[in-house]
Amino acid sequence: MKILPSILSANFARLAEDVQDIAKDVDMIHVDVMDGHFVPNITMGANVVQALKKETTVAQDVHLMVEEPIDLLPSFLEAGADMISVHIEACKHLHRAIQIIKDGGAKAGVVLNPSTPVSSLASIIKDIDYVLIMTVDPGFGGQSFIYSMIDKIKAVHDMILSMNLSVEIEVDGGINPETLPLCLQAGASLFVAGSAVFNCSDRHQAIQDLIQSSQT
């Protein structure tokens, strides 16, 4: 299992320092890109990925919460993104998007909003490296975990097992030491945590608490 701190909850005025601060504890961060259309918020673009690449060695998992992300993919790949996910609800030409990400040398994922059914994965699951299951509606950090997503994680996990695939399951939204073990037991292995890491005065302890919770 891996903890991926979401820099959405970091201090944007001190982003490099915040990332360097947790670089000893994790090997990947989660970068939330929002366009103000797909979600009601605007955050950052490929220039931030590129700038952070020069300041830290941690890998970057880019979560694109944008309408029609295809045209943006080359800039994120050039900027050095290691994993890129696109929302199934936002992408008309999903297989093309996944192919562009893979051809660019990054791991490719698709994201499902809480209300998007598991069945929507059927025609793409063989082509991807990971599924990101949103456990809140995307757009903001600090929201409450939607508990009915546990059954959804299990259903995706079952689908992956029944097809004998090695697709990973990532979860994002409201992940904390109480919700992480539930997602782990359901089949998730990548855990995004924003406020549970950056809103704590001791981030190292917060990350340790998340890791510890997986052993309960």
Q: Which residues are identified as catalytic?
A: 32, 172
Cα distance between residue 103 and residue 85, in whole Å: 14
73 sits near ligand DX5 (criterion: CB under 6 A) = no
* String of contacts with ligand DX5 for each residue 95-134, x by CB under 6 A: ----------------------------------------
Q: Please tell me whether 141 is known to bind a ligand.
A: yes
8 sits near ligand DX5 (criterion: CB under 6 A) = yes
- Pair 162, 115: CB distance under 8 Å: no
CA distance to 62, 104, 190, 207, per residue, from 210 (Å) = 21, 32, 12, 5
**Closest separation in Å from C-beta 19 to ligand DX5:** 14
- Pair 58, 26: CB distance under 8 Å: yes
Q: Which helix or strand (DSSP H or E) is residue 205 part of?
A: helix 203-213
Q: Residue 201 has which token pair?
A: 């005065």
Candidates 47-55, 111-119, 151-159, 168-176; binding stretch for Zn ion (CB under 5 A): 168-176
32 sits near Zn ion (criterion: CB under 5 A) = yes
139 binds, among ligand DX5, Zn ion, none (CB under 5 to 8 A by kind): ligand DX5
- Pair 121, 89: CB distance under 8 Å: no
Amino acid type, 55: E
- Return the half-sphere exposure (C-beta side, CA atoms, 13 A cut-off) of residue 1: 21
172 sits near ligand DX5 (criterion: CB under 6 A) = yes
Within positions 182 to 211, which residues make up the interface with ligand DX5, using CB under 6 A?
192-196
Candidates 13-21, 112-120, 121-129, 168-176; binding stretch for ligand DX5 (CB under 6 A): 168-176
Measured in Å, how far apart are the chain's first and last C-alpha atoms? 14
What residues are paired with 3 via a beta bridge? 191
63 sits near Zn ion (criterion: CB under 5 A) = yes
Pairing of strands 107-112, 59-65: unpaired
193 binds, among ligand DX5, Zn ion, none (CB under 5 to 8 A by kind): ligand DX5
173 binds, among Zn ion, ligand DX5, none (CB under 5 to 8 A by kind): ligand DX5
* Three-state secondary structure call for residue 183: helix
Q: Which residues does the annotation place in the binding site for a divalent metal cation?
A: 30, 32, 63, 172
Q: Which residues does the annotation place in the binding site for substrate?
A: 6, 63, 139-142, 172-174, 194-195
- Applying CB under 6 A, the residues found at the interface with ligand DX5 are 6, 8-9, 30, 32, 63, 136, 138-143, 172-175, 192-196
